[in-house]
Structure 1
Amino acid sequence: MAPIGVGLIGFGLAGARLHAPVIAAVAGLRIAAIMTSRVAEAQAAFPDAAVVAAPDALLTRDDVELVVVASPNPSHAPLARAALAAGKHVVVDKPFVTDPADGDALIADARAAGRVLSVYHNRRWDADFLTVRELLASGRLGEIALAEFCWDRLRPAIKPGWREEPGDGSGVLADLAPHMIDQMLALFGMPDTVAADIVRQRAAARVDDYFDLTFRYGTRRVRIASSTLVAAPRPRFALHGENGSFVKHGIDPQEAMLRAGGLDPATFGVEAASAWGVLTDADGQARAIPSARGDWRGFYRAMIAAIRTAAPPPVDPADALAGLRLIAHARAAADTGLRVCATA
C-alpha cells in the first residue's frame, strides 16, 4: 500500500523538530508538502517535499491525505477546520485549541466528514510516563495518596516569540499544562476539584511563567507545577502510595535527541541508567527502576492504523478537550482563590 502523504503546516520548533523527523522515521508516511516561510530550511531538510507559502496551496494537493497543524496556537482551530473541510485527516499539535468551544466544533466536523482527528499528546509515549504507568498497573506502590508532576526550567531572560507575548495560547500554562494534565487524566481519570496559583514571576514577563495546580480525587491529591526560575528542578514525577514511593528526575530524552539533529532508530527514546527513577518501598529499601523505552513514533503508527483500519485515534480529541477545560477551571480558581469543581 502506498504511504500516506503528509502535509505539514508550520516548520518552526514544533514542525521542524518535534513532528517532521518523527513522521519521516515512520514506515507508511511520507512528507509530501510543507507550508512555511522558512523555505530554505524546509527544502534542505526534505528536498522531495513541495514547499508552499499558504495553507490553501497545501490543502488542495491530491498527494496530501493527512494534515499536521504545527503552527502558533491561535491558528490551530481555523487551520484544522479548513483541513477537515478539504477532506483531510488531521493531527493538531498541543494545545488542541485555545477556546474549548472550537474543540467541540472540530470534533463534530471530523465526525461529519468521516475523517480522523487527533491531538499530538506525544508525551504519552515518554519513557518516564510509560514507566510510571507500568508501575501503577503493577500495584507495587499501593493506593496513591499524593502524585506530583513538575516541569521546571531556568529561563530568567524572556525569549523572543509569540509564546512570551500576551494572547490566546501564550504562557507556560498553555505550553506545558496540556501535556501534564493529559498524563494525569490517563493515570487517574477526571478529578473532583482544582485549586490553582498562576502568576508572572520574572520582572519582565508579560505572560504567566509559573503555575501550581492541585487536583482533588477524594482524599488523593495530584499536583501539577512548573516554574521558569528553578536551577535545580524538582522531580518530574513523584508518586507516593501506601506501599512505597517512586521518584523520577529529568525530562524524557526524545526532544533533546531531535533538537540535536536527528532520530537514531537504535537509541531513540532510550534513557541512560543514570536517569532512571528510584522506587523506595515501605521498609526504606531503595532501588532504581529501569525506564521503559519512550517512542513518539508510536503516535504516528497509531495514526496510520486509525486512517487505514478504522482503529481508534492515538489520542481522542475529546481527551485533549477535557484537559483544556480543566485548564480553564484552573484559571478561574486562580482568579478567585477558590477551589473549582472540575466537572462543571
Structure 2
Amino acid sequence: MKPINAALCSFGMSGKVFHGPFLQVLDGFNFYAVWERSKKLTQEIYPSVISYGSYEQLLADPNVELVIVNTPNYTHFDFAKKALLAGKHVVVEKPFTVTVEEGEELIALAKQQQRVLSVYQNRRFDSDYKVVKKVLKEDLLGEIVEAEFHFDRFKEELSPKVHKETAGPGTGSLYDLGSHLIDQALQLFGMPQELFADIRIIRPHSQVDDYFELLLYYPNKRVRLKSSYIVREPLPAYILHGTKGSFIKSKSDVQETALQAGEIPGSDTWGSEPEQERGFLHTERNGTVVREYIASENGNYGDYFKGIYDAIRLGSEVPVKPEQGLDVIRIIRKAFESNDQKKVVGM
C-alpha cells in the first residue's frame, strides 16, 4: 500500500478534529503538509508535517497528491480550483461551494484534469444516521409518508470564529448545519419536486441565519429539516413514519466529542454509541405489533478516507460524488429563493 501524501489548507478545529487524526492513523495516508498563514500549531502535534506559509508553496510541492480544502465556505471554490489546476486530487469540506455555478465549474475542471474530486460529507458516517439507513433498507416501516430531521444546539453566544458570524456568501446555519441534513435527506429520499423554507436570525446580535425549517415535497411523502441554535432540550434527531410503523432516534454519534477530547480513532469500539441512545422502533412484523430498541452500528469517519484512498489508488467511485455535493447547494439556493418569496418553489 503506497500512502497518499495529503495536505490541509488550515489547521483550525476542522484540521485538528476531523482530518488530522485520520490522516495520521490510516495506513493509506501520510499527513504530509499544511498551509499555516501565521500560527504554526501543527508541528506541536504532528512534528513531521511540513508547514507552508503560502498556498502557492504548498501547491508547488510535487509530493503533495491530495489537497483537503477545509477553509471558510466562501474560499472553497477558489482554493479547490487552484489545487485542481496544479494537478492535485481534491477533497472539499461541506458545503461544496457557495453557488451552483461554482460547483459545476469545479466538476468540469476535475474531469478535464482527470483528478479525483469529492465533498467531505462526514455525517453520512455517523452512527445515528447509519441506523436510520438500516431501518429503511430493511423495510421495517413500510412506505415512508413523513420524516423529520433535526440538528439543534443551545448556543446563544456568537462563535469566536469571525468568518462564521460575518454576513456574506456561504455563511449561516443553512450552509453549515443544513448541508448535513440536506445531504442525508437526499441520500435517503432523492431530490424533491418542490420545497418551502423559513430562514431566520434568532440570536441577539447575530448577523447570520441561525434557524431554518425546510419542507421538502415528494409525491407521496413530506420531509422536514430543522435547525435552531436556541434549543436547550433536544428533540429526536430522526423521526420517521411509514405505513407499517415509526422509528425515533436521538442525535448521539460520539465521534466529534471523542476527537475533541484527543482520542485516537481506530479502536474496535470507535464510534460506539451509549446503550441508552438506541433508536425506538414501533412497527409490525408478520401481523404482530413490535415495540423494540435497535442499537446503532459504530460511526467511523475513517470509512470516508478509506473510500478516497480507493478512488485515487484503485480508481473506485468516490465515497461522496461532487455531483451529490452540488445537489445540496441546489437545495440551499432554492431554500433562500423560497424564503425571500415566501412561497413554495419548484426544483
Q: Is the 8 A contact 1:151 1:234 kept in 2?
A: no
Gaps of 5+ in 2: none
- 1:81-114 CA-to-partner distances (Å, cap 9, x unmatched) read 0100110000000011112111111001100001
Q: 1:278 matched to which residue of 2?
A: 280
* Structure 2 residue matching 1:313: 3-state secondary structure: coil
Letter in 2 for 1:270: S
Q: 2:193 matched to which residue of 1?
A: 192
Shift of the 155–67 alpha-carbon distance from structure 1 to 2, 3 Å rule, reads same
Q: 2:108 matched to which residue of 1?
A: 108
Q: Is the 8 A contact 1:15 1:71 kept in 2?
A: no
Provide the C-alpha distance between the structure 2 equivalents of 1:329 and 1:91, rounded to a whole number of angstroms: 25
Q: 2:307 matched to which residue of 1?
A: 302
Provide the C-alpha distance between the structure 2 equivalents of 1:211 and 1:194, rounded to a whole number of angstroms: 13
Provide the C-alpha distance between the structure 2 equivalents of 1:9 and 1:226, rounded to a whole number of angstroms: 28
Give, in angstroms, the shift of residue 208 of structure 1. 0.4
* Structure 1 residue matching 2:311: 3-state secondary structure: helix
Judge which range, 259-268 or 285-294, deviates more: 259-268
TM, length-normalised to structure 1: 0.97
Give, in angstroms, the shift of residue 335 of structure 1. 1.0
Q: 1:329 matched to which residue of 2?
A: 334
Q: 1:183 matched to which residue of 2?
A: 184
Q: 2:231 matched to which residue of 1?
A: 230
Give, in angstroms, the shift of residue 194 of structure 1. 0.3
- 1:3-59 CA-to-partner distances (Å, cap 9, x unmatched) read 110011111111221111122222110011011236442011111010111111111
How many residues are matched? Answer: 342
Provide the C-alpha distance between the structure 1 equivalents of 2:305 and 2:159, rounded to a whole number of angstroms: 30
- Root-mean-square deviation over aligned CA pairs: 1.3
Provide the C-alpha distance between the structure 2 equivalents of 1:152 and 1:238, rounded to a whole number of angstroms: 14
Give, in angstroms, the shift of residue 285 of structure 1. 4.2
**Is 2:265 the partner of 1:260?**
no
Q: Is the 8 A contact 2:127 2:252 kept in 1?
A: no
- 1:218-258 CA-to-partner distances (Å, cap 9, x unmatched) read 13000000000000111111111111111111242111111
Letter in 1 for 2:330: R
Shift of the 127–100 alpha-carbon distance from structure 1 to 2, 3 Å rule, reads same
Q: Is the 8 A contact 2:38 2:53 kept in 1?
A: no
Q: 1:243 matched to which residue of 2?
A: 244
Which one of the candidate residues 321, 325, 332 is aligned to 1:316? Answer: 321
**Is 2:51 the partner of 1:20?**
no
Provide the C-alpha distance between the structure 2 equivalents of 1:54 and 1:276, rounded to a whole number of angstroms: 46
Q: Is the 8 A contact 1:25 1:297 kept in 2?
A: no
* Structure 2 residue matching 1:215: 3-state secondary structure: strand
Q: Is the 8 A contact 1:280 1:286 kept in 2?
A: yes
Provide the C-alpha distance between the structure 2 equivalents of 1:297 and 1:129, rounded to a whole number of angstroms: 16
Q: How does 1:1-344 map to 2 (within 5 A)?
A: 1-37=1-37, 39-161=39-161, 162-266=163-267, 267-282=269-284, 285-342=290-347
Letter in 2 for 1:323: V
Shift of the 284–230 alpha-carbon distance from structure 1 to 2, 3 Å rule, reads farther
Provide the C-alpha distance between the structure 2 equivalents of 1:135 and 1:285, rounded to a whole number of angstroms: 14
Gaps of 5+ in 1: none
Give, in angstroms, the shift of residue 160 of structure 1. 2.2
